[in-house]
Structure formats: C-alpha cells, structure tokens
Amino acid sequence: MKFTEQHEWLEIEGDLVVVGITTHAAEQLGDVVFVELPEPGTTVSKDDEVVVIESVKAASDILAPLDGEIVEVNEAIVEDPGKVNEDPEGEAWFFKMKIEDLSALDELMDDAAYKDFVG
C-alpha cells in the first residue's frame, strides 16, 4: 500500500490502482453519512476533486491521487456510507483507476512513512 498526505491509500490490483481513505481519516471524519462517487470513465488529473464525503462532523472532498481514468466505483459505500467507518482500508474502497505511469506511486509514502506522518 501507498499513502498520500491527504490520507488516501492506494493499492495496486493488476493494472489498476484501488483508492480509499485511511483508518486515520475515517476516525477524524466521524460517522460518514453520505458519499458521492465519480462516474466510471471519468478522466482525472492529480488533485482534482473526485469524491464528496459527508460526515456528522464535516464535508470533505477526496482528491485524485494521480492522473488517470476512473474505471470502477464502489456503489456499496453509496448505499451504506457507514461502511467507510467500519472497514476504510478494505471493503470500503472508493474507486479503481487506470494510470499510465505506475512509477508515480514511487513518490507516495509507504506504511512506515505514513505512520510517521500521522504520528
């Protein structure tokens, strides 16, 4: 897994990158009550706002961690936003994207660096 400073996690799955938010981010948000995901087929650039997430505490935007195309979204978290709090780094992934340059992942934090970042 790789991590961004915006508390997103990324995991390579074949030729796709799966993106979600970290347990730390989910805890900071509190109870998630609404998630709006992008349409599959959407082309995004790094730092584009791609997901809207609302909790009892705040509304936040999730940014695209890399340039690429959204190819799949997790409808389960739209239907039941509480899944984001239950399993943020597992079943509650947000979207899968196809990126052209996998080496861009090398610029992101690994697990140890992310733990230091939030520590």
User: For residue 9, which amino acid is it?
Assistant: W
**Is pLDDT of 101 > 90?**
no
Q: What is the model's pLDDT at position 119?
A: 87
Q: Band the pLDDT of 102: cuts 50, 70, 90.
A: confident
The conformation of residue 57, written as its DSSP 8-state character, comes to S
Question: Going by CATH, does the domain composed of 2-101 fall within 2.40.50.180?
Answer: no
3-state SS assignment for residue 94: coil
Domain locations in the chain as residue ranges: 2-101
User: For residue 45, which amino acid is it?
Assistant: S
Mean per-residue pLDDT over the chain, rounded: 95
Q: What is the model's pLDDT at position 15?
A: 87
* pTM of the predicted protein model: 0.94
Calculate the dihedral angle through the C-alpha atoms of 38, 46, 6, 118, rounding to the nearest 10 degrees.
140
Tell me the two tokens of residue 41.
């087929």
Q: What is the pLDDT of residues 46-73, one digit of tens each?
A: 999 999 999 998 899 999 999 999 999 9
Q: What is the model's pLDDT at position 22?
A: 96
Tokens 């970042």 -> residue:
117
